[in-house]
Structure 1
Amino acid sequence: METSELRVSILTRIFSNVEPDTLQLLQSSTDEGLCAFANAHNEPEDYSDAEDYVQLHLLVFAWTGSFQHIEKSLIVAELWQLEVLDRILAIKSMDPWRHQRLKLSNKAMDLLGSHQRSGLRKDLEDAIQTMEKAFTMVPPDHEDLAIFKGNLGTLYGPRFNFTKDVAELDRAIELIWEAVISILPDGAKSLFLGVLRSFHKTRFKLTHNVGDLEQMADVASMAIDATPVGSPDRPSRLYKLGRRLDKLFDYNGSSQTLDRVIEVVTAAVETAPTDYPDRTKWSDMLAMALGRRFQRLGDMADLNRAIQIAEDSLAQVPPDHLQRTSLLYTLGALITLRYNQTEEMEDLNRAIVVLEDMPPFDPNRVIAIPEDMTPVDRAREAGLRLNLGQILRLRFERTKNIADLDRSIDLLRAASKMIDYSTILSTLGTSLKQRYDEKGDIQDLTEAIDVSIRAVDTTAAHNRNLGLHLNQLGLLHKRRHNVTGDIKDLDEAVRVLALGVDATPPEHSEFAGRLDNLGLCLGNRYKKNGSAEDLEWSKSCYHRAINSQSSGPADIMSAIHNATRLLARELGPEKICEYLEKAINLLVKTSPMYFQQNDKQQSLAKFPGIASDAAAAALNAGKGAFHALQLLELGRGVITDHFMKMRTNLSDLEEKQPDLAAQFIFLRDKLDPASQGTALSISKKVHLSSLKDLASAGASAGVSAEASTGASTGVSRNQRVEAEKSFHDLCEKIREIPGFEKFLLPPSAEELMSAANPDPIAIINVSSIRCDALIVEKNRIRNLELPGLTSRLSYAFVITIREAKQPEAVKLVLEWMWETVARPVLEALGFTETPTDDNWPRVWWIPTGYLSQLPLHAAGRHFQSPRSNEAVLDRVMSSYSLSIKALMYGRQQQSTQEGSDKALMVAVPETAGQANLPYAMEELKILESLCAPLHPVIPELKRDLVLQGMRDCKIFHFAGHGLSDPSDPLKSCLLLQEGIASSLNISDIRDTKLQDNAPFLAYLSACSTGAVEAEGLVDEGINLINACQLAGFRHVIGTLWEVSDPYCVDVARVLYEVIRDEGMTDRTICRGLHKAIKTLRDKAVDTNLWAKEAFTIEEVDEKTIDIDMMKLSEYLENLKLEEDESPTASASIEVVGISSGSKAASNRSAAEFIRNAKLLSLNTARYGSTALDFYWVPYVHFGV
């Protein structure tokens, strides 16, 4: 609003009967003209008209600062009120001194006016002496006493400008307070409250006494109390109180003060008309206050509400509105804050778009510092660079694109030169530290420490960011200690981090994280010096962090992870068990259903193996096998569990409660990505010359399509959040229905044992704490300790398989698994002999951790001479599952439509960028003859046509290239003719949703369709086999690694012959694969004389063994794994020469990885084979 318009709106509120001509005159008037307009109004003779006169001159004073007009307001207001009092006093008694003291009071105010005009101290002193004389004439209990106290206090205040004696302010404030708490006319009280606020403000600037801020808030509260409800002045006075309280919160840090800020500013926004000029500014302040409360208390409802308020306010203001820039800053900061909490890529991309909308934006000058800038402009421009620098750093953490980090540092350095702001320096320190971690330039680490020290030194003791800056500085000292080994840095880290904890209120959302950092440093120092004091201090830090009521689940889980790894022996089994159980209960909160899958993966990858650790700790604490199994079922396969819940069979519910079933489907469709649209959350056109390139530069950085473009579902984030809440509420309601009491709840012991009837289930739990087999049978659940199995060995053997180029590596792994895992389990189950009647028993294997990447079904001593039954293949059939609940889910799914009788057969002998597969077509021809009764269908090799064919088939057989992506498992795919450009990735298959017409078998005759190579996600089972199961396939045949092209034909032939001969039943799939694998194994051992000679243990030539136990020891040394350390203890283990999980591999293009896959294969993978290959090993069956 223009100044003239604002002036008219205020005048119109004061004078309700102003004529249009007069309004036009006021609109165009200058300050001088406005003063002349006021002076043209003579002092009223009839004091019934005095109110308009007083308010007019008060307005002119407020607008121009002219004390002449406040003098006139005070004089008339006083005379007006005294006339009223005179009438009362005339009835009671005569006051002989009234006229004289009134005359002196008027003279004092005239002298004050002279002082204001001349600046002479003499005029002020004369005014004070005159008013003091008048004050002595007021009887002690007289009604005038309060007014004269206020007048005298008003005069004492200006004397401070000459004496600089705070006592003058103290005396003035005391007198005016005595006046305002007495009975005063509203007009006089309002004037004195304004003067009182000004004096408190002046005194606070001198003394920084928080009491002045508290009294300023009290003054604002009194002004509100004096304002009737419904008054047009009430919203603005509420806002002013909110500002005073907000300032007070900056100093006292009280949650109660912050609550009051939110309460009064909310009232201001809600009581102001929607078109009120300042309503948008108030909403901006409210959003920021809610964001602060989230930081303090960690309640996501506050943060979500804050973001919604900022978004709604932005939608209501035009592009040129003065408040728009501030709202954009606020919204960007709040979204970034939420990203820091949840790490949802959708928020990160949204924050980038918000930044681009901030005017003025010039992508060519964000690094350069414009000259001739006003302080306000410099602050705004520095804020832009700060926000953008933070977001670029955050995206670097996700994408590892070093260009983002370099630009972040450039922006923050520029911002630090524009204004002296501690948060900019601290943020710069964080970015420099991360670049040091990436590049190893010690200058970056040194500069990070230097700027972080400056950040701490320039932060006031009362500043709410002091704890943040101290925490950052402490972590930098810890990092330098890790580099140099200098104990002084570790000592300084402890000292600074302890100060940071002391500066952080316990209710702060980051309290647990800061305690975690301190506890970690103390624990490390204890390991070096053995100090009992450090040990107890560290344990205390972890106890407080883990029991924090305000911190987010990820921070608490991090504290649990560090405590249980660092102080496992010192904490004891009961405490370790308690902490890890809490972590499992928090795990699902770190990866809620409403998250996009990339965000779920990002969250879960931080805590690999924590479910296995919790189960092992439970066994150590004597809690029993069932309890340990419950923890495993809850903490593994979290993402799969979300899909299973959303896609559960609803046939019974639809029959008994169709309305509730309809509600379930409605909410499920908002949460299940397969049921949502593909609208982009960022729909603007991409321009590389602007910040849009930040939101779309995905390919070069190795970011998934969803993450790099901000692609999202057609359902907004807020809708998904609400949908999940409603989903859980609905499930509770469904459980109230008889027969549905266990709806979507974890299985009971009875249900778990029922799942093991008739075939037992062996869950192999791998943890650095201990390793066990949890054996579930139809009548009991028990555990079998496996002392020969360790987490480090399972990890080392996975690496052995990935690197191996000679069969002896595979032989070593198979024999180790037999001795440490398979034989003890089979003997415990009573499977000690080879069946003689072809009635083969079956075992369901559920391996955890890195063991899930190894072929338990192929474990054994296959090349003994003479032959024995020392192999799993010679005693039982094997099937796999991700979890028991996944097994139960698959069995419960029932097709609601008449099943198809088609066999969809896809053979891809030629693929762009890949070696040809000549046997793929031969495989297809054989299957056509074996599956003739099923009406084979051979589609055109187009992605959409293959997906369409999957919706109407009983069997889906794919023969071609498969790709497992270690950097992003969602990119794992089946390749068609055009290669990656036309591939069938995990999302494509999983989201087909075939449950209503569930197909029977997916046979993936391709490489690595069951591999999970992504570090930190091995227990999530995100691979092509899992995708087919979630899509609705009852059974899936896949592979753990590369397979041989010619022998794929033999495996498929034997399996389909068994199906043809024995019928298409659940058991024949397992029987068929077992027969195929065993047949090929027997052929390899029995008919190949070279193999029998070369692999007879007594005749092995050690010179031909490329990887043996000595080599394994070298692997362990290179991995830097200690005896009792889990390979998942570090979030980023680097292994030179291994593509999976290495930094080099994560930055490679997909095509480069495919070529690398050929190099890492066993011999030549599906590109050809020799008789020495263990080509029968990698095939696995997942099903029911």
Structure 2
Amino acid sequence: MQDLRARPLDEGSSNDLSELQNQVLPLQQIAENMPNANPEEAKALNELGVSLQMRHKALGNPIDLDNAIIAYRRSIRLVQVPAFKVEQLDNLGSCLLLRFEYKKHMTDLDEAITVLQESVDAASDDRGKAVFLHILTKSLLDRFTHLEDIGDLDKAIAMEKQAVELEPAASINKSLFLFTLGKSCLLRFNRAISIQMEDINNAIEVLEQAVAAVPAGGPAEVECLTQLGDALFLRFHWLDDAADMEKAIGAYRKIDTVVPHGSPEKIENLQDLAKALFSRYSRFRKLDDLNEAIAAAEEALSVHQDFLPDGHISKPYYLLNLATAYDSRFHRLGQLDDLSKQILIIEQVGKLLPDDHANRGLFMGNLGSAFFSRFQHVGDVVDIDQAISLLKLASQLPSTPRSSRGKFLNTLGGAYLRRFQHLCEDQDLADGITALEEALELIPEDHTHKASCLTKLGNCLHVRFDHRGNLADIDRAIAHIKQALKMIPEEHLNRDIILSALGGCFLARFGSSRDPVELDQAIAAQQQAIALLPDDHSQKPLFTTNLGTSFERRFHHSQRREDIDRAIETHQLAVDLLPDSHAIRALAFNKLALCFETRFDHFGEENDIDKALTAYSEAAKSMSSVPSIRFHTAIRWGTLACGRKEPSAALEAYTVVLEMLPQLAWLGHKIERRYSELGRVLQVGGAVNAAVATAIAAGDLGLALEWLEEGRNIVWGQINQLRTPIDTLRDKDPATADRLQAVAKALESAGTSDVTAAPRIDDVGVPQQTIEEEATRHRALATEYMMLLKKARSLEGFEDFMKPKKLKSLLPAARDGPVAIINVHKSRCDALVLHSSDTSQPMIHIPLVLFSSERAEALAKVMHNILKNPHGRALVLADRVGSSEAMQFILAELWACVVEPILEASDSLRKSGRRSHITWCITGPLTFLPLHAAGIYNSGDHVKHKCVFDMVISSYIPTLSTLLRSREQDNEYSTSPPRILLITQPSTPNSRPLPGTMKEVEAIRKHIPINNIHHLNHSEATVSKVLDAMGEYSWLHLACHGIQDAKQSLKSGFALYDGRLDLGMLMTKSLGHARLAFLSACETAMGDEKLPEEAVHLAAGMLAAGFESVIATMWAIGDAEAPVVAEAVYEILWRDGKDGGGERELLTAYALHEAVRRLREKVGVMEFIKWVPFVHFGVTNARV
């Protein structure tokens, strides 16, 4: 509204500059020459002041303003007529106010108020006095704005009340005075130390009068309506009277009809309307209000963007309000589009703000919260990493207000909890609890965030109880959540979340206490939570699923039919509410399927099994759900389908199982974590074997072979994939190929780095990355790698790029001889013999009807008992006789049940004129048993003596890919004689001496020229020197102690002079020209019993590092036997390889076979412990 202080000084005064110039000089002369105390002098000085003031307005010269004030002061001292003095006081006050606006000197404002008060006191009670009162009010409001002295505000309100009372109803100034009074009362309500509802009530009353009095359709009406809407909006938040909000929205809507399209006022009003509608939605949950709020905010930011450039001070706040509305609608409806829009908007806000902006922390925190929301819906780990990073930064910035720090730490604690539930990193749970405890210290007791923080802390303690079983945690969790519940009113928006959390805690404590009262309390709390939610609320499916679980648990306790029926009804309701892409879809369908199975088991309703199969199918196929849940669900689906004799369903289920395996051992984890995940999911090996057994039973031998290859040695396969050459892709798409290669290299490095190491330090002593930052980068690399693979596979001709090999690609593995792949499962045991003798039928299926998984486990246990006390390479077993008899039993069982049926069935595959060779690829407990030595050993009966050693040469491979990689590299090696790196440790510090290692050196030197040997002995053989030298030599011989670490498989290794060369270090190597590794150490082919399908042993590590052929040991070897084997091996390899004698394609395997034959002749056939441990892995010849 127009300020009366800006009215023309004299309606008759000229605004023409030349006239003003002509007026000022004569007036100055008159004033100077007029005798003192002349009555006309006051008039002349007043006219001079007016002219100077007008010239200042035209030219902006501050001296004119100063001189005008001097003239007014002199005039007032001389004036005798009271009426004229009021006018002069008014002129002086207006001029002082004008100078205050220019110079901001408080003395001018103070003097103006004093002068204006004099004019009010001197004026008569008529219309003129009302104007003077109004001007005084405005001046007092100015001083209050600068000094915040509430006395000025009180006096301003009192003055304006008088002005309103004096001004006639028909006056054009009436609405202005009412507006100013209402605005002043609203200001006092907001700024007073003690809140007085009378102020806001009075404000609304007079503003309503102002709206009624103001001319319709003009800017004055807009100002009045805006102020009235703001006052009503504010009172609604204090009194919760829906009528106030209705009137506020009505005021804003009326403004929208008055303000012209495409004006700045339009933008501001649309924002006010959006804010009011959003507040009403937050209170009454009417979706129409939220939709209209978003529409208004979108219109303000898009249609009228010309008035809202990026530099506009309000633009970041308007954008953030819209983002908040999108967030609310996302949580209400669960539509990803809203969440994506929210994130884009907040990212836009971040770009608008300078780095040192006072509110940057607030925007970063809100962006972090948005990423957290998207993670909870989609499950993409990159989002949760981004959320945690932003929330941490927002909570640590000094510019972030204390209240906001508490809010962001509260959200951060919840984000840590969810990442722990997703990745199972213990540190995340600890960090979450720490963040929430710090947030509790910062959030005031009466703040709504306090209840939220207590609930999240309770949830963290609940989860820690689930993992550690400490009852104190669940007791504390319940106490915190009960406290949160007491802090909020019945109608609080988040009451449902708190009740659901409380129900979950009661259910968890029931698991320990078995007190049915707690189970009833859980159900009651969960039912209350669900009752508070509309059907379209995004949290309702989860809460309903939790309630169904509680009913199921009560059934197992009570055995009442009604409980399992209600569990099924509740779970059915939950899945009916879920959209296809929801993250908990697999969980909800899995729980429904389990309930159907439970009811079938107890009450025998046949169609329940069919319903269970359907539900398991839906769960397993839920692409957006957690991989571990899909995996376990698919296993259960496959098992149930097999039991129901539904092979097609079973194969479909196991297809999902195989798809999930790489996600369980995710590339975003370090290698030790991948092995941990595979070990934690105890069913992994059994699941793959079950899948293969199902495919064989269905007659699909090709699929069985593909699955067996795909489901074994997952981690080694990932390492080799990251090292795969991509030249063909580079020809098609160089940019994608280069980036894929760079990311693969970085990912391999991240996966094999030591997570326990200290953060890397840069040149100036500053840590480059924390462990958490490194892990976040690792996960981001894994995500980018998968996206690049997807992009590559979208290219024509690259649809199967780096995907698991199909049957056609696996067949060449048998080019140099048959490969026997043996699957062991509780349902059946089978051998698949791959060969190249008949391309029309390249695979023979041999059912091993005499063998079983139970028998395999029993034999492995006997073997473990024989070898349970190994202490190093020089082992001599105490009970030689008992061990020999036990070993004889094992070998006889393996012969009769496994090896003999395979050899008999594949006899026709042997090529005439050459020694027969077979490669074993074994699974399950068989991986710990010596198939290469199987036989019937009766020392007194040579007729009955049969053994595989006398019939074929044996090699082992962890997967068919081991042979295929060598085939691909056939033309990539030098034809020059091999050079050997010889490592010996005759007396490793803190280990038993091994004098036999030097005999190995002597034996090797007998047959290999000294110039072809590089020998590192004792103190020369340090870990770093050996690692560095490995890449320079094609053969490697390690004569030292070997250690199989039962607790940390990746710490298994070779004992060198200054430490252990372990499996984790070998995984970092990629040797392009490595051919043969002879591991003359203990247990170098002994794997991890927890991970039989993963070949976590040193021989596999050498294969992965690039060696084509590895000679290793299954258990501790004698110090006397190792030199015998080494001498014979190198004699044959050097002689036959150099001269072209022997059968080159079998050379390495033949050399070991012949060496072991010589050892067996020397020590005796029945000395199994001495000759059986030597085994060959990889291709049959080291390409000498």
1:986 CA displacement: 0.4
Residue 340 (1) aligns with residue 421 (2): yes
Residue 792 (1) aligns with residue 858 (2): no
Residue 764 (1) aligns with residue 822 (2): yes
Indicate the larger mover: 1019-1028 or 1039-1048: 1039-1048
**CA displacement, residues 650-691 of structure 1 (integer Å, 9 cap, x when unaligned):** 789999999887655533321112898769897499xxxxxx
AA paired with 2:810?
L
3-state SS of paired residue (1:1013): coil
1:877 CA displacement: 0.7
AA paired with 1:598?
E
1:640 CA displacement: 1.3
AA paired with 2:529?
T
**1:977-1016 aligned within 5 A:** 982-995=1059-1072, 998-1015=1073-1090
Distance in 2 separating the partners of 1:24 and 1:902:
92
Q: Which residue of 1 is the match for residue 35 of structure 2?
A: none
Distance in 2 separating the partners of 1:77 and 1:744:
73
Give the unaligned 5+ runs of structure 1.
Answer: 1-15, 87-101, 110-146, 397-401, 686-706, 1092-1170
Residue 1182 (1) aligns with residue 1164 (2): no
Q: Which residue of 1 is the match for residue 934 of structure 2?
A: 859
1:917 CA displacement: 4.7
Residue 1073 (1) aligns with residue 1152 (2): yes
Distance in 1 separating the partners of 2:668 and 2:1119:
41
Identify the match of residue 285 of structure 1 among 352, 361, 366.
366
Distance in 2 separating the partners of 1:222 and 1:50:
34
AA paired with 1:229?
L
Q: Is the 8 A contact 2:1038 2:1081 kept in 1?
A: yes
Q: Is the 8 A contact 2:1084 2:1113 kept in 1?
A: yes
**1:405-484 aligned within 5 A:** 408-409=473-474, 412=477, 415-416=480-481, 418-420=483-485, 442-443=512-513, 449=519, 452-453=522-523, 456-457=526-527, 459-461=529-531, 462=533, 465=539, 467-468=541-542, 471=545
Q: Determine which structure has greater relative contact order: mean sequence separation of CA pairs < 8 Å that are 6+ residues apart, divided by chain length.
A: 1
Q: Is the 8 A contact 1:594 1:717 kept in 2?
A: yes
1:574 CA displacement: 0.6
Distance in 2 separating the partners of 1:712 and 1:559:
33
**1:1103-1122 aligned within 5 A:** none
1:840 CA displacement: 1.3
AA paired with 1:293?
R
**1:1168-1179 aligned within 5 A:** 1171=1167, 1173=1169, 1175-1177=1171-1173, 1179=1175
**1:49-88 aligned within 5 A:** 60=187, 63-64=190-191, 66-69=200-203, 76=210, 79-82=213-216, 84=218
CA RMSD of aligned residues (A): 5.3
* Cα pair distance change 1:159/1:1047, threshold 3 Å: closer
Q: Is the 8 A contact 1:909 1:919 kept in 2?
A: no
Q: Which residue of 2 is the match for residue 389 of structure 1?
A: 461
AA paired with 2:915?
W
1:976 CA displacement: 3.7
1:985 CA displacement: 1.1
Identify the match of residue 916 of structure 2 among 841, 847, 853.
841
Q: Which residue of 2 is the match for residue 327 of structure 1?
A: 408
Distance in 2 separating the partners of 1:868 and 1:916:
42
**CA displacement, residues 1042-1064 of structure 1 (integer Å, 9 cap, x when unaligned):** 44444334333432332243237
**CA displacement, residues 442-466 of structure 1 (integer Å, 9 cap, x when unaligned):** 4388798577446525524327555
* Cα pair distance change 1:56/1:1045, threshold 3 Å: farther
Q: Which residue of 1 is the match for residue 720 of structure 2?
A: 644
Give the unaligned 5+ runs of structure 2.
Answer: 1-99, 107-141, 165-170, 192-198, 486-494, 762-768, 867-881, 1139-1143
Q: Is the 8 A contact 2:294 2:322 kept in 1?
A: yes
Distance in 2 separating the partners of 1:19 and 1:667:
62
**1:133-152 aligned within 5 A:** none
3-state SS of paired residue (2:644): helix
Identify the match of residue 308 of structure 2 among 224, 229, 240.
229
3-state SS of paired residue (2:893): helix
Q: Is the 8 A contact 2:381 2:779 kept in 1?
A: no
Identify the match of residue 811 of structure 1 among 853, 878, 888.
888
Q: Is the 8 A contact 1:520 1:562 kept in 2?
A: no
**CA displacement, residues 198-230 of structure 1 (integer Å, 9 cap, x when unaligned):** 69967975x665556556666766776788533
Residue 29 (1) aligns with residue 106 (2): no
Distance in 2 separating the partners of 1:432 and 1:373:
25
1:956 CA displacement: 2.5
Q: Is the 8 A contact 1:386 1:412 kept in 2?
A: yes
**CA displacement, residues 812-870 of structure 1 (integer Å, 9 cap, x when unaligned):** 3322322332222222222699x997x31211111123322222212222337234573
1:1024 CA displacement: 0.9
**CA displacement, residues 628-649 of structure 1 (integer Å, 9 cap, x when unaligned):** 2222222222211222122235
Q: Is the 8 A contact 1:423 1:455 kept in 2?
A: no
Distance in 2 separating the partners of 1:874 and 1:667:
49
**1:1148-1167 aligned within 5 A:** none
Q: Is the 8 A contact 1:899 1:999 kept in 2?
A: no
Q: Which residue of 2 is the match for residue 1153 of structure 1?
A: none
Distance in 1 separating the partners of 2:760 and 2:458:
24
Q: Which residue of 2 is the match for residue 1037 of structure 1?
A: 1111
Distance in 2 separating the partners of 1:160 and 1:320:
23
1:46 CA displacement: 8.1
1:299 CA displacement: 4.7
Identify the match of residue 944 of structure 1 among 1024, 1029, 1045.
1024
Distance in 1 separating the partners of 2:659 and 2:365:
36
Residue 773 (1) aligns with residue 836 (2): no
TM-score by length of 2: 0.69
Residue 629 (1) aligns with residue 701 (2): no
TM-score by length of 1: 0.69
Distance in 2 separating the partners of 1:169 and 1:319:
33
3-state SS of paired residue (1:975): strand
Distance in 1 separating the partners of 2:102 and 2:676:
65
Distance in 1 separating the partners of 2:781 and 2:392:
17
1:572 CA displacement: 0.5
3-state SS of paired residue (2:529): coil
Q: Is the 8 A contact 1:61 1:70 kept in 2?
A: no
Distance in 2 separating the partners of 1:782 and 1:276:
70
Indicate the larger mover: 1049-1058 or 842-851: 1049-1058
* Cα pair distance change 1:1174/1:233, threshold 3 Å: same
**CA displacement, residues 1091-1134 of structure 1 (integer Å, 9 cap, x when unaligned):** 6xxxxxxxxxxxxxxxxxxxxxxxxxxxxxxxxxxxxxxxxxxx
Identify the match of residue 618 of structure 1 among 682, 695, 701.
695
Residue 716 (1) aligns with residue 798 (2): no
Distance in 2 separating the partners of 1:192 and 1:887:
70
* Cα pair distance change 1:51/1:255, threshold 3 Å: farther
Q: Is the 8 A contact 2:638 2:651 kept in 1?
A: no
Aligned length: 971
Q: Is the 8 A contact 1:901 1:953 kept in 2?
A: yes
**1:866-877 aligned within 5 A:** 866-867=942-943, 870-877=946-953
Q: Which residue of 1 is the match for residue 320 of structure 2?
A: 239
**CA displacement, residues 377-414 of structure 1 (integer Å, 9 cap, x when unaligned):** 854763674476377569x5xxxxx5x95775475356
**1:102-251 aligned within 5 A:** 179=254, 182-183=257-258, 228-230=307-309, 232-244=313-325, 246-247=327-328, 250-251=331-332
* Cα pair distance change 1:664/1:529, threshold 3 Å: same
AA paired with 1:781?
P
Distance in 2 separating the partners of 1:152 and 1:1029:
76
* Cα pair distance change 1:197/1:373, threshold 3 Å: closer
Distance in 2 separating the partners of 1:374 and 1:561:
50
Identify the match of residue 890 of structure 1 among 949, 966, 970.
966
* Cα pair distance change 1:310/1:414, threshold 3 Å: same
Q: Is the 8 A contact 2:1118 2:1170 kept in 1?
A: no
Indicate the larger mover: 597-606 or 417-426: 417-426
Q: Percent identity?
A: 21
* Cα pair distance change 1:179/1:681, threshold 3 Å: farther
1:1010 CA displacement: 1.7
**1:1094-1133 aligned within 5 A:** none
